[in-house]
Amino acid sequence: MKSKKILIIGLVWPEPDSSAAGTRIIQLIKLLLAETHQLIFACAAGKGPYSFDLSGLGVTEQTISLNHSSFDAFLQEINPEIVIYDRFVTEEQYGWRIAEHCPDAITILDTEDLHGLRKARQQAHKHQKDFNPDAVFSDPVTIREISAIMRCDLSLIISEAEMLLLLEKFRIDPSLLCYIPFLEEPIKPADILQWKKYQDREGFMFIGNFLHEPNWNTVQVLKTKIWPALSKILPGVGMHIYGAYCSQKITQLHNVKERFYVHGRADDSLEAISMHRILLAPILFGAGLKGKLIHAMRTGTPSVTTTIGAEGMPGELEWNGLVTDDLEEFPQFAAQLYTNKELWTQYRNNGIAIINERFEKTKSSKAFISMLHNILTNLEQHRKHNFTGRILRFQTMNSTKYMSLWIEQKNAADQSR
């Protein structure tokens, strides 16, 4: 494929050491750079101390303004051939401007995960109800998200479970979707030799970005439902919590007497995981793929999680630990795995197969590059095939456009006072 100028519009600047979403976008960036494309990453959010240095990869960084005509001038200057939206809300914010100033640019939505699915599951959990998959149909976030998918030329879906939902429940045309999970390097024998052994590890652990509600909820479950029982089964063993953006409500859970340790941000998430024997992730709601579980496999660390935690990951393969939704069984499973070296080693090896057979980067990246090439060479026909998307672009973008222009004028009036 001939080198193209690609604009990526991010909701935030990537922080791969803080979240799986940050890791995901960096993986996509590296994939596109390997194809010799020229990349510009634009974002209206402020940079933080943990923002990734994209310029070090050869990516042009550009700060932009939301609801401001300066973005139009920026578009006209760079004239991108491909535009990637990082999450559906960036498509809502900037899509109409792209359509107006770069109508021939291919538009790609990286969904990260299905936000509407995650929200519907969270609402079911909040109201202590069993999750009904049909609940996603009436959720406003789902409607917005599916509309964004239809408006774009291609959407990247991280989980096979979410691919099935979009294809079977929402009847999205397969030509608009591309399954591309985490893009992992294969685990090689030399990597395995570097892993810490069973006897060199201590305690249980959990890690997550605490701006993400499912992670905060998981720590609450660990503290109130899992650890009280598990700590009695294994006295002397510790539970270690790591994570970015660790607020006071989380740090106050630290209790040395209970052996429940809140460490805050880990300088190196892989190193933090590898120090401990088992990762516990009793995730009760969420969507997409869980980066913490991928990292556990990469470090030879078995895990105990729920069906939502493991969703879309093992396929037909055996999990690298145990999966249960019964919170009373969860501590028993965790204790069994912690104390049985043979079982621990067996499950650790299952993780090698999952990474190498399910997430090795060339497996799905080739399909993505092929789909992108086909759209580039047949864009007009591709868009004719998606006439519903054309309707949504016409109707929705006009309303978004005039709302954005109204906000711009209001901001200008406020500044002139």
**For 168-180, what is each residue's pLDDT tens digit?**
999 999 999 999 9
pTM of structure: 0.92
What is the model's pLDDT at position 357? 96
- 47-91 pLDDT, tens digit per residue, is 999 999 999 999 999 999 988 889 999 999 999 999 999 999 999
Beta strand extents in 307-366 (DSSP E only): 321-323
What is the model's pLDDT at position 404? 65
Each domain of the chain, given as residue ranges in start order, spans: 5-184+361-416, 189-359
Q: In 127-194, which residue ranges form alpha helices assigned H by DSSP?
A: 140-151, 160-164, 189-194
Residues 161, 288 contacting (CB under 8 angstroms):
no
C-alpha torsion angle, residues 12, 17, 22, 25 (rounded to 10): 130
Residues 162, 288 contacting (CB under 8 angstroms):
yes
CA–CA separation, 203 and 338 (whole Å):
8
Rg of the chain over Cα atoms, rounded to whole angstroms, equals 22
CA–CA separation, 209 and 261 (whole Å):
16
Percentage above 70 pLDDT, the chain: 94
Q: pLDDT tier at 387 (50, 70, 90 boundaries)?
A: confident
| Amino acid, res. 407 | I
More confident: 162 or 413: 162
What is the model's pLDDT at position 390? 84
What is the model's pLDDT at position 328? 94
What is the model's pLDDT at position 399? 61
Q: Tell me if domain 5-184+361-416 and domain 189-359 are identical in fold.
A: yes
Q: What is the mean pLDDT of residues 328-345?
A: 97
Domain covering 5-184+361-416: architecture = 3-Layer(aba) Sandwich (3.40)
More confident: 134 or 35: 35
Q: What is the CATH number of domain 189-359?
A: 3.40.50.2000
What is the model's pLDDT at position 131? 86
Averaged pLDDT of the chain: 93
More confident: 19 or 220: 220
C-alpha torsion angle, residues 106, 17, 49, 22 (rounded to 10): 20
Place of tokens 């401990």: 276
Residues 57, 33 contacting (CB under 8 angstroms):
yes
Residues 295, 355 contacting (CB under 8 angstroms):
no
What is the model's pLDDT at position 408? 65
52 alpha carbon, distance to own chain's centre: 16
Residue 407 has pLDDT above 80, yes or no: no
